[in-house]
Amino acid sequence: MTHPVIPVIDTARLMLRGPQPEDYPNFKATFASYRSRFMGGPLNPYEAWMLYAAEIGHWEIRGFGMWMIHDKVTDETYGMAGGWQPAGWPEREIAWIIWPDKAGKGYALEATHAVRKHYYANGWDGAVSYIDPKNLDSIRLAERLGATKDAGAATIDGSDAVYRHPAPGALVDSQLAHGIEMEIGHYADPMFKPKGWALD
Amino acid sequence: MITLSGTLTLHTERLTLRAPHPRDVDAFIAFYATERAQFTGGPMTERQAWNFFGTEIGHWVMNGFGMFVVTHKGDDAPLGIVGHWYPKTWPEKEVGWVLFDAKHEGKGIAFEAARVCIDHAWTALKWDTIVSYIAHGNDASVALAKRLGAMLDVDAAQPKPDSPGYVYRHHRGAA
């Protein structure tokens, strides 16, 4: 049996690794909570376990999937981010979820920016994110990543909005790319003030 | 890094039991779309069945054991899945079986595959108990459980208390 080697992705503050059995408790806590209401939750313990196992199986079936987001220093987990395309998904998705008590620190931005860069460097020519229209935090993140609502794109089941990510070329040495890097830099170092730039 | 610990393959006289592979997903989805799947959590939509197939693979990673795809020796076409099943919240470890197509019933395939899995559970996995959870009305599986020497255990805990079924308990040396 062949299985994909899941690459490790390093960012300023984070290390992204394939989901492991020992990472399960945090996943379960989040999917048991109201936090997961836009991702098919809340789930009971049985359903949460089955979904976590499916996250692992997704890597095997598709060759890509969701990484577990770890703190680079403490190894603590903050959530998941990666590529997602189960049956019925019209296109390949960039998806993310951050544990409720870890939100607001820019981890999702830093992780999704890194996984998108990874997939773009490995043959993807684009991606979408399927987002519940009521999930304002995720819509805001999609926009910070440069994604725009694509009203004409096929949805999963009609209840989701499709946000289309910029093509790989639009992230090379562009104002958008610099803006994302700068926002991430500011989260990583709150004292960070680039010369010659007015912040806010 | 994910490494599936379930690269193990079991052999019987006529069958090969190997770990599930992405190429099996269509057969899995096709089975779960049919009424035949009513006793094993189906029928399911394509999306549900695809996710469940992912769960079958992830189960190996989470537990170090899982369900095998059963094939005829020398032919890779999947006949069904048989093996070891223990998702979170299951009261006990289970040996389960599914034949995808009715045309493969009545040939002892499920019996042969389940028997080697029960033996493997006792000897290699060192399980202390083995049960098979069987839905009410699934007469074919009840008959197979009995043929394997399992006995109905009315006092055993139910995996899904809201929709109880039969719990057949296997006994060492019975099959």
The radius of gyration of chain A's CA atoms, rounded to the nearest angstrom, is 17
In chain A, what residues touch B87 (CB-CB under 8 Å)?
A: 46, 49-50, 53
Q: What is the pLDDT of residue B5?
A: 46
Q: What is the pLDDT of residue B174?
A: 80
Q: What is the pLDDT of residue B154?
A: 97
Residue A169 Cα, gap to closest chain B Cα (Å): 30
Under DSSP, the state recorded for B105 is: T
Q: What is the pLDDT of residue A191?
A: 79
Report the candidate in A65, A48, A46, A1 with the shortest Cα–Cα distance to residue B85: A46
Nearest residue in chain B measured CA to CA from A5: B1
Residue B174 Cα, gap to closest chain A Cα (Å): 31
In chain B, what residues touch A56 (CB-CB under 8 Å)?
A: 2, 54, 57-58, 61-62
Q: What is the pLDDT of residue B131?
A: 98
Alpha carbons A23 and A70: distance in angstroms, whole number: 10
Q: What is the pLDDT of residue A43?
A: 94
Q: Which residues contact A90 (CB under 8 A, 6 or more apart)?
A: A128, A153, A154, A155, A156
Alpha carbons A123 and A83: distance in angstroms, whole number: 13
- Mean of pLDDT over chain A: 93
Tokens of residue B174, six digits: 């019975």
Q: Which residues, given as ranges, of chain B have pLDDT below 70? A: 1-7, 175
The most distant pair of C-alpha atoms in chain B lies apart, rounded to whole Å, by 43
- Whether the pTM exceeds 0.95: the reply is no
Q: Residue B126 burial by CB count (10 A; 0-12/13-18/19+): exposed, middle or buried?
A: exposed
Q: Which residues, given as ranges, of chain A have pLDDT below 50? A: 1-3
Instruction: Check A56 against B54: CB less than 8 A apart.
Output: yes
Alpha carbons A196 and A142: distance in angstroms, whole number: 27
Tokens of residue A51, six digits: 């979904």
Alpha carbons B108 and B95: distance in angstroms, whole number: 16
Q: What is the pLDDT of residue A2?
A: 38
Q: What is the pLDDT of residue A83?
A: 98
Residue B60 Cα, gap to closest chain A Cα (Å): 9
